[in-house]
């Protein structure tokens, strides 16, 4: 991992550029881990990248990106299995690494709930299994569906394979709800992993890198008989949707899981307060090596399910749970080569190719070096022996160079000043850490990368238009821009005559393209490859503007500095100034607008339905919260409003529908009065939101809710765990 200057020394411009870089890098690594079951690096670099991202967001909260890794769920499901939408999203966990960080997490829980600083918190501690997260759906006690986590919203339907696991009951024992989603982890024990690899070796097949990959590869077999021949285990630990309540506490829910017939980790324990949690963490760290399955930390969950519901989620992380990861593992290996990759935005990214080394059971072969400053700061040279650190179980980080083992001929690495793909000058703009190719439209790496992105999962998801096909079609002039993809039907005979194709393959490709002529607005926006606009930002924009025509018109209007459209764009929660600038710049380019209009003439771009529109009176409404609320914190109120389909912004404008006024509301109340925006009291807001009367024992104290301030507390810097909560 590259060396980076201290966060406190960065300018706003540098911070914005680095946040964009981190969002793209983490998204790529998530896809390798979640979708492909082929992690490229260990948790060391991954956790370090997320920690860096969290630190930057804490210092520059107004620069938090809508596609921030803190909001993203994982990666889209792979092809090969039917897709299954979860009844409730399968979200991930934040990470901590010390007792001090865990104490900060506890303080955040108390602050959100408005509890006293010394209020007791009861947790359930569960060893964090390193396997594959699964959601099981039971109807009237019978298993009807089983799916992988996927992107947290949609997973792969692996029901037939899961039915081969003896540890997953086909029917729930005893009384059960009419409908219940049960979540847990499919894993492989260390002994079964070694036996499987021995069998792989005997049959001349590639061994698995670690038990997690073995479990994931075994479960995701198109032939369920192969899965049945592998020894897989399952621990249940969480609940999704349920038609009725099954417990009042998480520990009580675990008891119900046992009664249903599931295996629940026997080491799970109820813990009263931070002191017991810290002691349990030390105990699990000591037991770790002797366990027959891999764990990389402990998950701590608030035991009270009513509190869990109140706390809800921040982006893709539950506020009521955290993963406390174990310390990093390290190893030495040789840096064999530094390769330069060119991304779709022209960024030149150095990648360290390493002599394969096993770090805690994971075979590490490469690591991102991010940019030339990182290489120079650590004086990393080809041929060096480097120290690799692995925090948790997936992503690697180059910690240092072993100078005593440096070869005499090793020379400082010279970062290229020209693009390796097109030969154009590669420049580094002032205040940015990234060097970019200036080739633009003439750079094949950028053009191909943009088209690959357009066709990828999460975007248009066109089966058959992978990197190799796109590169070939681009080189031969069949496609030059995204709209050309939807004109390939005119070239079907030509494609069929190409080497390696044929009539059947060409017909399937044209059919796959035709199937994507209807696309949701959020996927369309993401597919455009606008810099800093990832999947989460695209969803945010689609939800806010509702239709392609409205979005295009508003972005066009936002070209005028000081316009209402420009102000409205900047006021969307999650759209910082850097993202707004990229959107304005994209629409300022006539060629981009021409591409949009060309695509719109060929496609049906679906409008967005406001969530909860059928039942919520605030769905689609623009809301602002200001002042001190007495029955909940403003953070909880905003989360509730967004869950009901409202659009929460930070500033009052003519487009604002409601302003919820707490005590000492200040300037926003005056602005609402000037514009004639409907004010709501806290009681009126609660009635609109369908909230029952609050229990006075749990009512927040004014002093904990930033009385008289329109600013929320800075978020606690946290890293992330790629596991289901």
Q: In what order do the strands lie in the sheet with 93-96?
A: 269-272, 122-129, 295-302, 321-325, 93-96, 719-721
- Could you say which DSSP state residue 8 is in? G
Burial of 672 (0-12, 13-18, 19+ CB in 10 A): buried
Return d(Cα 430, Cα 433) in angstroms, integer.
8
Burial of 219 (0-12, 13-18, 19+ CB in 10 A): buried
Return d(Cα 257, Cα 700) in angstroms, integer.
34
Which tokens in the block code for residue 282? 């030390």
Return d(Cα 718, Cα 104) in angstroms, integer.
10
Q: What number of other Cβ atoms are within 10 A of residue 593's Cβ?
A: 15
**Structural contact between residues 429 and 371, judged by C-beta atoms closer than 8 angstroms:** no
- Could you say which DSSP state residue 32 is in? I
Return d(Cα 445, Cα 635) in angstroms, integer.
43
Distances (CA, A) of 691 to 113, 410, 634, 659, 685: 15, 67, 15, 18, 9
Give the three-class secondary structure for 725.
Answer: coil
Tell how strand 647-648 and strand 622-626 pair up.
parallel
Q: Which residues contact 194 (CB under 8 A, 6 or more apart)?
A: none
**Structural contact between residues 523 and 482, judged by C-beta atoms closer than 8 angstroms:** no
Give the three-class secondary structure for 151.
Answer: coil
Give the three-class secondary structure for 551.
Answer: helix
- Could you say which DSSP state residue 33 is in? I
Query: Could you list the active site residues?
Result: 128
Return d(Cα 66, Cα 554) in angstroms, integer.
18
Burial of 170 (0-12, 13-18, 19+ CB in 10 A): exposed
Residue ranges of E strands in 91-245: 93-96, 122-129, 132-139, 142-148, 154-156, 179-187, 233-242
**Structural contact between residues 462 and 513, judged by C-beta atoms closer than 8 angstroms:** yes
Give the three-class secondary structure for 63.
Answer: helix
Which tokens in the block code for residue 447? 């053009």
Return d(Cα 708, Cα 290) in angstroms, integer.
54
Q: Which residues contact 252 (CB under 8 A, 6 or more apart)?
A: none
Q: Which residues contact 461 (CB under 8 A, 6 or more apart)?
A: 76, 455, 516, 523
Which tokens in the block code for residue 46? 């991954």
Which tokens in the block code for residue 326? 């174990």
**Structural contact between residues 184 and 264, judged by C-beta atoms closer than 8 angstroms:** no
């Amino acid at each position: 991992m590259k060396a980076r200057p201290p966060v406190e020394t960065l300018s706003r411009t540098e911070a914005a550029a680095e946040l964009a870089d981190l969002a793209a890098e983490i998204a790529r690594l998530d896809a390798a881990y979640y979708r492909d079951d082929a992690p490229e690096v260990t948790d060391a670099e991954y956790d370090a990248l997320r920690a860096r991202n969290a630190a930057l967001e804490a210092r520059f909260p107004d620069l938090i990106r809508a596609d921030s890794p803190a909001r993203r769920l994982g990666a889209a499901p792979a092809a090969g299995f039917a897709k299954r939408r979860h009844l409730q999203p399968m979200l991930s966990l934040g990470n901590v690494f010390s007792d001090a960080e865990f104490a900060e997490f506890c303080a955040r829980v108390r602050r959100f709930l408005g509890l006293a600083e010394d209020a007791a918190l009861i947790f359930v501690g569960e060893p964090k299994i390193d396997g594959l997260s699964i959601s099981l759906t039971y109807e009237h006690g019978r298993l009807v569906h089983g799916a992988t986590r996927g992107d947290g919203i949609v997973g792969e339907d692996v029901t037939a394979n899961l039915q081969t696991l003896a540890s997953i009951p086909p029917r729930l024992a005893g009384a059960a709800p009419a409908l219940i989603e049960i979540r847990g982890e499919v894993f492989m024990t260390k002994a079964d992993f070694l036996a499987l690899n021995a069998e792989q070796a005997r049959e001349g097949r590639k061994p698995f890198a670690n038990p997690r990959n073995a479990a994931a590869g075994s479960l995701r077999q198109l032939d369920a008989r192969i899965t049945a021949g592998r020894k897989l285990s399952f621990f249940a630990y969480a609940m999704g949707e349920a038609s009725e309540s099954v417990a009042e506490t998480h520990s009580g829910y675990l008891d119900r899981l046992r009664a249903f017939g599931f295996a629940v980790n026997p080491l799970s324990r109820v813990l009263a307060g931070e002191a017991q949690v810290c002691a349990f963490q030390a105990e699990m760290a000591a037991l770790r090596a002797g366990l027959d399955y891999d764990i990389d930390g402990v998950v701590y969950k608030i035991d009270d399910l009513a509190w869990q519901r109140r706390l809800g989620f921040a982006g893709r992380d539950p506020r009521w749970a955290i993963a406390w990861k174990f310390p990093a593992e390290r190893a030495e290996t040789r840096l064999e080569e530094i390769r330069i990759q060119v991304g779709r935005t022209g960024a030149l990214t150095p990648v360290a190719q390493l002599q394969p080394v096993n770090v805690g059971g994971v075979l590490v072969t490469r690591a991102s070096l991010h940019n030339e400053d990182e290489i120079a700061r650590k004086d990393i040279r080809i041929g060096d022996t480097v120290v690799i650190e692995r925090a948790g179980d997936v992503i690697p980080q180059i910690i240092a160079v072993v100078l005593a083992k440096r070869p005499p001929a090793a020379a400082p690495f010279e970062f290229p000043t020209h693009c390796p793909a097109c030969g154009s000058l590669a420049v580094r703009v002032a205040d940015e850490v990234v060097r970019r190719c200036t080739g633009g439209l003439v750079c094949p790496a950028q053009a191909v990368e943009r088209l690959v992105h357009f066709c990828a999962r999460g975007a248009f998801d066109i089966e058959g238009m992978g990197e190799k096909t796109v590169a070939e079609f681009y080189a031969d002039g069949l496609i030059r821009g995204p709209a050309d993809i939807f004109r390939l039907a005119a070239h079907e005979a030509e494609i069929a005559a190409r080497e390696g194709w044929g009539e059947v393959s060409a017909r399937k490709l044209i059919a796959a393209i035709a199937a994507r002529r209807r696309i949701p607005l959020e996927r369309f926006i993401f597919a455009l490859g606008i810099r800093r606009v990832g999947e989460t930002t695209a969803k945010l924009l689609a939800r806010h503007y509702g239709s392609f025509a409205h979005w295009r018109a508003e972005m066009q209007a936002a070209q005028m500095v000081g316009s209402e459209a420009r102000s409205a764009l900047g006021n969307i929660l999650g759209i910082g100034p850097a993202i707004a600038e990229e959107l304005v710049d994209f629409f300022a380019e006539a060629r981009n607008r021409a591409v949009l209009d060309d695509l719109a003439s060929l496609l049906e771009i679906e409008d967005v339905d406001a969530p909860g529109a059928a039942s919520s009176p605030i769905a689609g409404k623009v809301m602002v919260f200001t002042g001190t609320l007495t029955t909940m914190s403003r953070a909880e109120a905003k989360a509730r409003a967004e869950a009901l389909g409202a659009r929460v912004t930070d500033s009052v404008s003519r487009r604002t529908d409601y302003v919820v006024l707490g005590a000492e509301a200040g300037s926003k109340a005056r602005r609402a009065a000037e514009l004639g925006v409907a004010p709501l009291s806290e009681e009126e807001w609660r009635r609109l939101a369908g909230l029952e009367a609050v229990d006075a024992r749990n009512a927040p104290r004014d002093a904990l809710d930033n009385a008289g301030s329109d600013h929320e507390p800075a978020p606690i810097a946290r890293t992330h765990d790629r596991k289901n909560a």
